[in-house]
Structure 1
């Protein structure tokens, strides 16, 4: 099976807790904090980091121990220090994988620096999240930064402030609520409660997981039972393979004084966690689709977080109603007629082509990403209509998709229940048009 688009990435769960580091990150003297802008892609925080002078993009993960690098095929200039071979166990249905360990590396995030950072390099070419996110992703980083700073994540403005711990962090307004967390094995756990379909609230301990793009994960046991309305789904990809489970909806999730109604939830197959010897009293995870509804100040040194809701709080949860998953798969040329030509080709801000050729002053060829169907859920509207894995998406509802980001295309495919969706694809050098109606997943 090809890796599917919009998988609910589970980055903080990729490695076992023993993969940790002891290097320190520092700010220049007399600088209280460093502000960094980030991209929020599929509920994941993507930050720019220099590694030994090479500019890379990392997902910021609140629980991962040591930075992990992957997708380095095009990074010929990256130099790694003191390299040795290791074996890594991770989530998924596959086996352990080979990796490299490197010590003494220089990391730089704005003015934040570490001069002796340990990291791991996954050599498996299949561990690559860039095609599904639509931008280059080279690795994940987390605990070291959360350990050394008070981290103020403003999801509303797509910015992070890293405060020196002695500064006391940002001044919190009245709308913030401060909650205790437990930092265990370099991961933060928060007490919350969930309301399942028609049942009383159940107290749960949840991993705070900015490295997951999903909303809520729950582990089924005597107290926490799967609601009757659910469907089988692909939940994501770990280092050891694909992760599957059951997708459902819960009546509510309460975090402190905040209640998130009709929250999207998943019950993962527990075989996924076979490499983790002891889950303790953990009952699940809170991922990016929940966390982005708050602005959050992480204070690992004092084992607390402060939260306030933002403009995302009441936004609806996104489900893959169509059943289609997408990813980038190389590039293709598209031709466009130019209405008027004055000798200068203007590149549209919405265009993702990085190579353009002008033919006879009236036709422009652009090299753009090729978007393919990387997976289809069995029994979904798209599956019933006849779409197949490997189909090249050309247009959705009459809109040529090369002008849109991959997340925007997914929104077109899953706009609302009851809507008819028309998808134009290329299959075996033939253009085919498919039509289907989006249906309620829980009826």
Structure 2
């Protein structure tokens, strides 16, 4: 896959694969055990790194590592996306499978394994159901700017009461039934096909008040994606702008980005929430998710410190210091991806039509050398993303390498929604 097409919204790439792998892995489920501790231990914790609102944790696989994995409530089995791990772990007797994805007749080559043991903190599991992609079609390392090996989800969350503290960047997990006072408002969960669902209330001028069923997906970096309403495409608000929301096996997934004026989760109220509206046939109609309205992502979830209690089908929300930050969309029209080898370099993967970047004659494939005369060698993706949405009307100088020529471009940021 062209690397320019790999730096895309992670959620929509994930939608292609994950719902299908859950059922595929069930032949090994009878062997699988939950994560647990040795001896009398009941609790453990790990620190995490937060990039683009996504949680990166250290995971040991078959006593090797640590490997960077994304902790993700939106996946079922363990998913290994970086195929180099297969050679490192000397995995054998892998069962090849074909997974149908989005697009016309396209399929993903993958393997199943029942040879995987995993360890996070002091907790471990044997025979965890695992899907291993034959090639790294998700390009998570390019998207995140650091080496990512895969995704860990349901089998971890189903084993513990899991507290995600976005304030301290720490995951704390206890065995179910451990006596501990948990702070926060209780929100009922439904666990369906290994994923947690909640109901949120949306106030939309054109539609009135809507009780929406959404999957709680902290492995999606957006705020909320609204896909269906009454088994039809979710109506797009008049102030929305066209956007390329990701890439499917058959090509780009298009849609729109707008705002929900008011959203309530329990007693918490959020205003002017950035919302994505994928084209119905690209996502909802092809992924068998007609029983839900959308996907609640980590741009919202990271405003809380959250405790997941799958055993009792509840989660606790306690707002943190990020709760009141405004919801902002990219103001430049630029998407950025990273190449790690032989050294970290930032490239432009896509330019939004009629955006400030297009008006400034920025091209796809341009390498960003510096931003406001600060070398990108000293920046990470969080720094770049923050700068590109840092203020309506602000001027940003980009030094770019275009086919060996060094060019200086001025982009005037614009709040487009």
Same fold? TM cut 0.5: yes
- Cα 1:425–1:75 change in 2 (3 A) is farther
Query: What's the CA shift string for 1:308-341, capped at 9, x where partnerless?
Result: 1111101122311101111123557xxxxxxxxx
The CA distance in 2 between the partners of 1:141 and 1:237, in whole Å, is 22
- Structure 2, unaligned runs of 5 or more: none
Secondary structure in structure 1 of the residue aligned to 2:357: helix
2:55 corresponds to which residue? 45
The CA distance in 1 between the partners of 2:165 and 2:136, in whole Å, is 33
Are the equivalent residues in 1 in contact too, given 2:83–2:135 (CA < 8 A)? no
Shift of 1:252: 1.3
Q: Which moved more, 1:403-412 or 1:135-144?
A: 403-412
Secondary structure in structure 2 of the residue aligned to 1:101: strand
The CA distance in 2 between the partners of 1:4 and 1:116, in whole Å, is 31
Shift of 1:415: 1.4
1:314 corresponds to which residue? 324
Query: What's the CA shift string for 1:195-238, capped at 9, x where partnerless?
Result: 22465321111100011111101124369522101111122346
Shift of 1:183: 0.7
**Structural RMSD (CA):** 2.2
Are the equivalent residues in 2 in contact too, given 1:6–1:42 (CA < 8 A)? no
Q: Does 1:279 align with 2:290?
A: yes
Q: Does 1:163 align with 2:174?
A: yes
Are the equivalent residues in 2 in contact too, given 1:46–1:58 (CA < 8 A)? yes
- Cα 1:27–1:376 change in 2 (3 A) is same
The CA distance in 2 between the partners of 1:153 and 1:236, in whole Å, is 27
Q: What pairs up with 1:119-134 in 2 under 5 angstroms?
A: 119-134=130-145
The CA distance in 2 between the partners of 1:240 and 1:85, in whole Å, is 22
Secondary structure in structure 2 of the residue aligned to 1:145: helix
The CA distance in 2 between the partners of 1:79 and 1:273, in whole Å, is 38
1:211 corresponds to which residue? 219
1:249 corresponds to which residue? 259
Pick aligned residue for 1:151 from 145, 159, 162 = 162
1:326 corresponds to which residue? 336
Pick aligned residue for 1:99 from 110, 125, 147 = 110
Shift of 1:412: 2.1
- Structure 1, unaligned runs of 5 or more: 333-367
Shift of 1:239: 6.6
Shift of 1:81: 4.7
- Cα 1:141–1:90 change in 2 (3 A) is farther
State the number of aligned residues.
Answer: 403
- Cα 1:84–1:235 change in 2 (3 A) is same
Shift of 1:269: 1.3
Q: Which moved more, 1:399-408 or 1:287-296?
A: 399-408
Are the equivalent residues in 1 in contact too, given 2:302–2:322 (CA < 8 A)? yes
Q: Which moved more, 1:116-125 or 1:256-265?
A: 116-125
Shift of 1:392: 1.0
The CA distance in 1 between the partners of 2:75 and 2:6, in whole Å, is 23
Pick aligned residue for 1:433 from 405, 408, 417 = 408
Q: Does 1:178 align with 2:183?
A: no
The CA distance in 2 between the partners of 1:3 and 1:38, in whole Å, is 28
Are the equivalent residues in 1 in contact too, given 2:51–2:381 (CA < 8 A)? no
The CA distance in 2 between the partners of 1:28 and 1:241, in whole Å, is 47
Pick aligned residue for 1:387 from 348, 362, 366 = 362
2:100 corresponds to which residue? 89
Q: Does 1:200 align with 2:211?
A: no
- Cα 1:58–1:194 change in 2 (3 A) is same
Which has the greater radius of gyration? 1
- Cα 1:242–1:57 change in 2 (3 A) is farther
Q: Which moved more, 1:238-247 or 1:35-44?
A: 238-247
Q: Does 1:69 align with 2:44?
A: no
1:303 corresponds to which residue? 313
Shift of 1:190: 0.2
